[in-house]
Amino acid sequence: IGSQKDRVVTEEEWLQKWETGNIGFHKEHGHPLLQKYLDVLLNGRSGLKIFFPLCGKAVEMKWLADMGHSVVGVEVSEQALKDFFTEHNLPYFEEPVPEISGAKVLQSTSGNISLYCCSIYDLSSSIVGKFDGVWDRGALVAVNPRDRQRYVSLMITLMEKKSSYLLVTVSYDPSKHKGPPFYVPESEIKSLFGNHCEIKCLQKVDDFSEKHRQWGLDYFLEVIYILKFAA
């Protein structure tokens, strides 16, 4: 989208957000849309392997692990991952990831949460396997617009047959805010994912707040989709 397409947020800038506590995107009590549409994601299945791209310290990772699913996340900020384990009093251990130079994985001692500290683009199905479900809130909308195709191509290679992908995007006037989060229109979601899965918009929610007013916006919506991959 015009003014946003060339915008680049570097890894250093994201790390700085975590270091300075500038993490307004983190939801301390979890995201109401995941609670509302969890059944759509699970689709009657139990013991799923669920992926959290650009996971931060999302509280839903523990929530889903406690339900018996296994959770894998990826995040460049090691601080975010350590905070996750500390804030939930979860014992964990760290291991290097031999396939990725400088990367490590922080794993709960119970074994059902594995969080990779590296760039998402370093992951592949040979390292993390494939997933039955994805919760993508704050990931696609945080990826630099020019990297969107690369991101989606990777995500598609990580999906099992018959998997479900809950995707939350945001809608606002992109000429008034440079992002992130970036505006991703429905037409672009269809062109990025459309050849690989069935896409359905579940709900648009008014999420406008004082913060968005300060950004110069007069509306801000969260839009949630379910993407269903074929058998």
β-pairing, 221-229 vs 159-171, is antiparallel
Query: Is 20 annotated as contributing to ligand binding?
Result: yes
Query: Is 208 annotated as contributing to ligand binding?
Result: no
Distance in Å from the first CA to the final CA of the chain: 33
Query: Is 21 annotated as contributing to ligand binding?
Result: yes
d(CA 59, CA 24) in angstroms, rounded, equals: 14
Query: Is 22 annotated as contributing to ligand binding?
Result: yes
Query: Is 17 annotated as contributing to ligand binding?
Result: yes
β-pairing, 113-117 vs 104-108, is antiparallel
Q: Could you please report the per-residue DSSP string of 85-143?
A: HHHTT--EEEEE-TTSTT-EEEEETTSSEEEEES-GGG--HHHH--EEEEEEESSTTTS
Query: Is 34 annotated as contributing to ligand binding?
Result: no
Query: Is 25 annotated as contributing to ligand binding?
Result: yes
d(CA 128, CA 72) in angstroms, rounded, equals: 8
Query: Is 24 annotated as contributing to ligand binding?
Result: yes
Query: Is 149 annotated as contributing to ligand binding?
Result: no
Query: Is 95 annotated as contributing to ligand binding?
Result: no
Query: Is 15 annotated as contributing to ligand binding?
Result: yes
Query: Is 119 annotated as contributing to ligand binding?
Result: yes
Residues flagged as binding site:
14-25, 54, 75, 119-120, 137
Binding residue ranges for S-adenosyl-L-methionine? 14-25, 54, 75, 119-120, 137
